[in-house]
Amino acid sequence: GQNIDQPTEMTATEGAIVQINCTYQTSGFNGLFWYQQHAGEAPTFLSYNVLDGLEEKGRFSSFLSRSKGYSYLLLKELQMKDSASYLCAVRDHRNTDKLIFGTGTRLQVFP
Amino acid sequence: GAVVSQHPSRVICKSGTSVKIECRSLDFQATTMFWYRQFPKKSLMLMATSNEGSKATYEQGVEKDKFLINHASLTLSTLTVTSAHPEDSSFYICSASKTGKGSNEKLFFGSGTQLSVL
């Protein structure tokens, strides 16, 4: 079966660093995505990893270890606007863009 | 970037009625679109894959006669919730797949539809 797990909720302080973990067990793997979603809005793309290692993109970085079925999203210099849900999603079919989403992590940033 | 328009953004209906939700790719052609359902404070659950010109592929546990999907053109997919009941109340989101080289951001999401069935 498909299983993608994330912590349900996290809190952090403005200016701090937070790491959101994602573990997955899927029948196939062809890339892992991270999305940000504010309440009542569409998810927006943050990052994509298909090879092991760290991908850095401004304040956000994403890491992947395929052998461990593990990824994390690292958010630096947190801002209040970073309060949102963060969704980990695995693409498990080579020929489609079908994504299976994780449970999502709601991050609350406090001043 | 690419824009996916989803309408309506919010709908309230009586139990037993049918509701149609539209998902349009405005500046690109999408042979494949996806429909998701999201409960409050939960993640997105894939309901079905909509393929232009052919039948949709439904995920396990999703009633195809309840959630009718039509993908009649390369820019439009519709989801019809038939004989809606209160338990169908949810946030429905579509996404469209943009083929071609370039960014890994090939999946673009609509803004979602909040369905409330009374």
Going residue by residue through chain B (118 aa), what tens digit of pLDDT does each one get?
Answer: 678 999 999 999 999 999 999 999 998 888 889 999 998 878 889 999 988 888 899 999 999 999 999 988 889 999 999 999 999 999 999 999 876 555 566 788 999 999 999 9
Q: What does the longest C-alpha to C-alpha distance in chain A come to?
A: 44
Chain A interface includes B51 (CB < 8 A): no
Report the first-to-last Cα separation within chain A, whole angstroms.
41
Q: What is the mean pLDDT of chain A?
A: 92
CA A51 to the chain's CA centroid: 15
Q: State yes or no: pLDDT of A93 exceeds 60.
A: yes
Question: B-chain residues within 8 Å CB-CB of A106?
Answer: 41
Question: Residue A27: which pLDDT band, with cuts at 50, 70 and 90?
Answer: confident
Question: Residue A97: which pLDDT band, with cuts at 50, 70 and 90?
Answer: confident
Question: A-chain residues within 8 Å CB-CB of B32?
Answer: 96-97
Nearest CA in chain A to B113: A40
Q: Kind and range of the H or E element at A29? A: none
